[in-house]
Amino acid sequence: MLWGWMLVGWGLFNLVEGVLDHHILGIHHVHAGDGQVWWDIGFLVLGALLVVGGYLLQRSGRPFDQNAPSGRSASRRS
């Protein structure tokens, strides 16, 4: 679950930074020159994919339960 949330955070950062710095403020671009808008859009698409992929990854995980028996030794007892 942690890795999923890390990907969501990374993707959100890329989306916010991409919209603010690349499009609104124009501070810098992913790759300046011909076709720089496509590089910037690709950066936003990557951020969106990270958010979606991270969300799906964290949903597929199981929550951590400190009281649950751990490892193979617990299965040998039963």
Residue 73: the pLDDT is 54
20 lies in some domain = yes
Provide the domain limits for residue 39: 2-61
| Cα–Cα distance measured from residue 42 to residue 22, given in angstroms and rounded to the nearest whole number | 12
* Spatial CA neighbour of 15 closest among 38, 48, 61, 37: 48
C-alpha separations of 74 from 51, 63, 65, 66, 70 in Å: 36, 19, 14, 14, 6
Number of structural domains found in the chain: 1
Q: What pLDDT, on the 0 to 100 scale, is given for residue 19? A: 94
Other beta carbons less than 10 A from residue 24's beta carbon: 9
Rounded mean pLDDT of the chain? 86
- Please give the DSSP secondary-structure letter assigned to residue 62: P
pLDDT digits (tens, 9 = 90+) for 19-49: 998 889 989 888 888 999 999 999 999 999 9
In this predicted model, what pLDDT tens digit does every residue of 51-61 receive, in sequence order? 999 999 999 87
Residue 15: inside a domain:
yes
